[in-house]
Structures are given as C-alpha cells and as structure tokens.
Amino acid sequence: MTALIDKWNAIYSQTDPDNSVVSVLSDYAFLLPITGTALDLACGLGNNAIFLAQHGLAVTALDISSVAINKLAHYASEYKLTINAYQQQITPSSLKADSFDVIIVSRFLDRTLMNAIIGALRTNGLLFYQTFTREKATHTPPHNPDYLLAKNELLALFDSLTVVFYQENALIGQHQQGLRNEAQFIGQKIGE
C-alpha cells in the first residue's frame, strides 16, 4: 500500500488543481441538483470536486494521496468552496449508506466498490462515472485489464440504477475524433 501511496504522491506533487473536469460531468452539469451533497471518489487533485462545489453542492472528496488531498484542501480554503477532503484508502466501508445526491468517479476502477457506491446514493441520486476501456483506439495507458472496463461493463455493474446516459465509442467511426478509450455512464437510483 505504501508503494501505491508514494506513486500517487509523486504524480500529484508535479501539478495543481485546474479546470479539467471529466466530460461526463461537465457536459451533463444541467442534471445536477441545485443543492445537496456530492462525493468525488478517488478524487486526485479534485477538479471534479471543485466543479461540483462551484455548482452549489457540499462535496466530500476522498483519495489515497495525501499530496492531492492537501492541495485540494488548500484550494478549497483559498476559494471558500464547501469541500471536505480526506486522505484514505477507499474500501466499501468508506462509503456510508444513503449519504450523497451525486457521486462522481473518474478514471478509477475498483469493482469491489460498486455495491457500496450504489448504497451511498440517496433515492433519486445520480452517479456520474467515466473511466478507461479495454477496447482502445490508441494504445495509451493504462494497460492492466484489472483497471479497464470490458464492453458495456458499466451497464452491468450498475444495472440496479436507471440509465440516464451511456456512451462507449471505442473503435466506431473516425478514431481520431470524439471521446475514445473511455466509457461514460450516468445512472439514477430510483426509489421503490
């Protein structure tokens, strides 16, 4: 675990939060509630957390990197954003049931967390998920299949949510255009 923390601390020590938000969130920001709570899971430098806080949500941000969390906390304090950032290893027990109106997961995949993610959503809550796929138009990292989605896998992993949006372009059409190498999913937890 220490090696993984050291790896991400080294990566995040080279950069600061900026305005780069994953497109599944920025393109569909009109779906966000006006108020509520949000979770940026495996937040890195917290660009998505910052975006959510700027849209009026009270944000919790979790990441394994203390460097990333410290930078995000400093940024949130400087700009007076409602973000509570915590450094921790993310496990199913990290996610409290019925806690969030919005959850964003970007470029992170841990299949053991899927049920906990669904459980952490409140009724009518939205999950925004964007991460890497095995089917790629270019041979860019990551390459480990443990961290890459199979075809339509997000649909299967979150089949208890109502699909609001799904996109996985992979090798269709003009490979040099559009979002490639990543799947996008928005799902809603509908009450019984």
Is pLDDT above 60 for 178? no
Lowest mean pLDDT across 6-15, 112-121, 175-184: 175-184
Q: What pLDDT digit, counting tens, does each position of 42-97 carry?
A: 999 999 999 999 999 999 999 999 999 999 999 999 999 999 999 999 999 999 99
- Model pLDDT, residue 127: 98
Q: What pLDDT digit, counting tens, does each position of 108-133 carry?
A: 999 999 999 999 999 999 999 999 88
Q: Which domain holds residue 99?
A: 2-188
Per-residue pLDDT, averaged over 10-19, amounts to 86
Can you tell me the distance from the alpha carbon of 6 to that of 27, in angstroms, rounded to the nearest whole number?
Answer: 33
Residue entry with tokens 């996985």: 168
- Model pLDDT, residue 66: 96
Element (H, E) at 110: none
Decide: helix, strand or coil at residue 41.
strand
DSSP code, position 96: -
Q: In angstroms, what is the C-alpha Rg of the chain?
A: 16
Name the domain count of the chain: 1
pLDDT band for position 140 (cuts 50, 70, 90): low
CATH number at residue 131: 3.40.50.150
Residue 179, phi then psi, degrees to nearest 5: -70, 125
- When the pLDDT of each residue in the chain is averaged and rounded to a whole number, the result is 89
Can you tell me the distance from the alpha carbon of 65 to that of 63, in angstroms, rounded to the nearest whole number?
Answer: 6
Can you tell me the distance from the alpha carbon of 135 to that of 115, in angstroms, rounded to the nearest whole number?
Answer: 25
Specify which residues 167 forms β-bridges with.
184
Residue 37, phi then psi, degrees to nearest 5: -115, 150
Contact 168, 151 (CB under 8 A): yes
